[in-house]
Amino acid sequence: MNFLNSPALWGGLAAAGVAVPIIIHLLHQRHRRRTDWAAMELLRRALVIRSGQVRLEDLLLLFLRCLVIALVAFALLRPILDDKTAQYMQGEQTVGMVIAIDVSYSMGHGKQEKRLDAAKARVREILSTARDSDQVKIVLLGNEPRDLIESRYGNTDFSSELDAIEPFPERLNLERGLQKISESVEKLQGAASVIECYLVTDAQEIDWSKLSGEAKSSLDEISEKANFFITPVGVDGTENLAITKFGYASGSLGLGGTARFTAEVKNLGGETSEGKMMTFYVNGNPVQNQQIGTIGGGETKAISFFSSLDGLNSANLSVKLSQDSDSLSQDNERHTVIEAREKTQILCVDGEPERDKNLSEILWLVKALELIQDEENGAIEAIETNSQNLEAETFSDFDVIVLANVDRIGSTIAGRLNDFVNDGGGLVLFAGENVTDNADSYNEDLHGEEVNLLPGEIVEKSEDSWTLGSIQSNHVLASLAESIPEAGRSNLTFRAAMEIKPDLDTTTILSLSESNLPLLLEKKVGAGSVLMFTTTADDEWSDLPLHPLFPMLMQQAVTHLTSRPGHSNAMVGDLVQLPLAGQQAGSTVTLRTPDPDNNESMTVKLTVLDSGEVVCPIEASSSGFFSVETKDSPPVSIAVNVDPGESDAREVKADDWEQILGASQAKVIPRGSNNLASIVEESRKGMEISRTLLILALVIFILQGFLAKLFTKRMTDSGDSTLEQKLRKYTVAAARRS
């Protein structure tokens, strides 16, 4: 037996209620006083004759009155019986349902019947067992769970609501979904004699194979509070071809330059894919088609496109697979935003200036930056200065500042550099004797609480012989280095390097062989970035400035710092804060979304971050380009993509559920089971008998009233009218009223 209400609370009140008439009875007995006088003696003799019978009648009435109170209190506990006794007692069964439907974009998988269609059919089977009075709640699960319906079954057209459900362009966040289900089940406690929970999902292996501790805890909570059924659905096949990555790979985004953009296509199924095509779009216009060729199951192929962005300040780029590519369309396209610059101004600061320019610290650096371009109309302009003149420069005139072996920075310059980087500028640092000799000064000025530009703490100079280490990062600069053949990379030697302890938020891009010494690091600071080389910009510590990799690396670094490819990309479900320079907080802008069903523009109010940066808040609810239009500036766009982790359509195998669920009491209804409704109905055990108990209490209350009247009347209807009989009548009646 279970109870819907608290046994401790209502049991205590019941005990108190039953105790009241007993206490009154005992108090009445206790406060009787014996007084001997002649008339009372006559009465005592008359009452002795019937005293035993009267006492039994009084105890019977007391018992019935206590029983009435006990039954009412027991009914308020709302007891639930699971066996046949409840049926004999005319028990009442009420059901509370929570139905959670996975609507992540993998539920759109299937060429003929979609997984979501199968899920809707399952939900209809479950709802066919509901009565009009049953409480039903339907929750939709994606990156964030949403409530769809919460109503009595008879009050809502559930069928039309189900028909309108479409897959969200989101990945399933199982932890958040299970937490939402647990909260919904908790709210039903005490509202029904049977509480049921159904999770209808395609049960992707990537979501369920390694459950987090939070997810396991939620599973246990749900199965303890409700009859919990996991209902996997699926259609034949798990084949899927998905674009998992797309973006800038290499090349120049400046005037006259050509850039390479790469899309990665992965075959997530088990069968070989052939004959598919990919199209490259610039600002919505198809530019180039490429055959993908043959991709085996589990394989990934990179497809490259080349384009010049002359005359464009920014461009919205997309790649899309042909429409007949596979069974899941949501991951067949990907987008990115690229910012192009006509001219990039770079300030190159020589920390060890020489009269002979051929001995300059930045000689090879400047040559690398301006290599292969027209001297008059080049996209990159390198402006040389020395550390003594640095304070006189206006940092905002430049896009990138390079400090090559500068000895001391000072707090004033450090503060200005900090503002420059936070506002979106790029800073490049090269090591050298001046830096290592003044390591404490560098750490104090550039690695403190107020100014924290260094990617880590500078330790000391280290001397040995190294080559370029194996490439471990997927950073664009690491990919560029990896494109150099191994024989070419092995010819690159390093004789000295600056040891540094990287911060937790620092990315190590390149490292030295057979050591833990980083060669190139990056740290994001505000809207900008800092790149740090642990070797010199000249050939004193290494052969890097003389190697063909160096100009490629420097020009790619400038593009990375200025155009920041991928900076304006987001995932569906993100809350994006899009920076808008030159705008006022509180003003309004026009936001255009990629939603094909909502072509109307939206008016959005600008907000300000704690840093003082004015931003446009955007809820990235769909895949494509969100564009912000202002009155006095060109449109600013962000590219929103689906999470590629949802593309793997493989499902949990039936034999693996026991291991996945562990000690959880959740039950799994096998895919393709044709008797879901009967399974649901057979699991419903538990009827509430409160109504029967209240009716019984009412009957007993009427009975005790009738008996009290009967017993009293019987004593007075004996025909005696003597003083003794009258005294006996009034005394007993008064006692029974008490």
Cα–Cα distance, 438 to 446 (Å, whole number): 12
Are 105 and 53 within 8 A, CB to CB?
no
Widest distance between CA atoms in the chain: 145
Cα–Cα distance, 359 to 270 (Å, whole number): 60
Sheet containing 575-579: order of strands: 575-579, 614-619, 607-608
CA triplet 562, 568, 571: central angle to 5 degrees? 150
Are 353 and 386 within 8 A, CB to CB?
yes
Query: Pseudo-torsion of CA 161, 166, 171, 173, nearest 10°?
Result: 0
- Predicted local confidence at residue 324, as pLDDT: 73
Cα–Cα distance, 401 to 389 (Å, whole number): 13
Inter-axis angle of helices 723-737 and 51-76, nearest 10: 20
Strands 285-295 and 273-282: antiparallel
| Inter-residue long-range contacts of 3-12, CB under 8 Å, 24+ positions, other chains counted | 3/77, 3/78, 3/79, 3/80, 4/77, 4/78, 4/79, 4/80, 4/189, 4/190, 4/193, 4/688, 5/76, 5/77, 5/78, 5/190, 6/77, 7/77, 10/73, 10/76, 10/77, 11/73, 11/77
DSSP-assigned letter for residue 506: E
Sign of the dihedral defined by the CA atoms of residues 441, 444, 450, 453, in that order: positive
What stretch of H or E contains 82?
Answer: none
Cα–Cα distance, 519 to 503 (Å, whole number): 15
- Predicted local confidence at residue 280, as pLDDT: 95
The model carries a pTM of: 0.72
- What is the residue-wise DSSP string for 312-367? -SEEEEEEEE-TTS-S--TTSEEEEEEE-BS-EEEEEEESS--SSGGG-TTHHHHH
Tokens of 39: 């008339």
What stretch of H or E contains 597?
Answer: none
Query: Pseudo-torsion of CA 449, 453, 455, 458, nearest 10°?
Result: -70
Placement of tokens 């805890």 in the chain = 217
Residue 600: Cβ-neighbour burial (10 angstroms; 0-12, 13-18, 19+): exposed
pLDDT digit string, tens, across residues 80-102: 666 555 455 555 657 889 999 99
pLDDT digit string, tens, across residues 467-501: 999 998 988 899 889 988 888 888 899 999 999 99
CA triplet 451, 456, 460: central angle to 5 degrees? 115
- Predicted local confidence at residue 522, as pLDDT: 96
Q: Sort residue 534 into left (φ over 0), alpha (ψ -120 to 50) or beta.
A: alpha
Cα–Cα distance, 704 to 61 (Å, whole number): 6
Tokens of 403: 């400090």
What are the backbone angles phi and psi of residue 173, rounded to the nearest 5°?
-100, 95
Are 685 and 82 within 8 A, CB to CB?
yes
Determine the length of the chain: 738
Are 139 and 119 within 8 A, CB to CB?
no
In sequence order, what are the residues at sequence separation of 6 or more whose Cβ sits closer than 8 angstroms to the Cβ of residue 549? 480, 481, 484, 488, 489, 492
Cα–Cα distance, 246 to 579 (Å, whole number): 23
Are 342 and 257 within 8 A, CB to CB?
no
Cα–Cα distance, 166 to 108 (Å, whole number): 8
- Predicted local confidence at residue 453, as pLDDT: 94
- What is the residue-wise DSSP string for 180-230? HHHHHHHHTTTT-SEEEEEEEE--BHHHHTT--HHHHHHHHHHHHHSEEEE
Taking the CB of residue 682, how many other CB atoms lie within 10 A of it?
A: 9
Q: Which of 276, 280, 272 is nearest to 292 (CA)?
A: 276
Q: Which residues of the chain have pLDDT under 50?
A: 1, 4, 86
Are 405 and 540 within 8 A, CB to CB?
no
DSSP-assigned letter for residue 372: T
What are the backbone angles phi and psi of residue 706, rounded to the nearest 5°?
-65, -45
Taking the CB of residue 104, how many other CB atoms lie within 10 A of it?
A: 29
Q: Is 708 helix (H, G, I), strand (E, B) or coil?
A: helix
In sequence order, what are the residues at sequence separation of 6 or more whose Cβ sits closer than 8 angstroms to the Cβ of residue 260? 248, 249, 250, 251, 304, 305, 306
Placement of tokens 């690159």 in the chain = 492
Walk me through the domains of the chain, giving residue ranges and CATH numbers.
2-88+689-737 (no CATH), 95-237+653-685 (3.40.50.410), 241-341 (2.60.40.10), 344-562 (3.40.50.880), 569-641 (2.60.40)
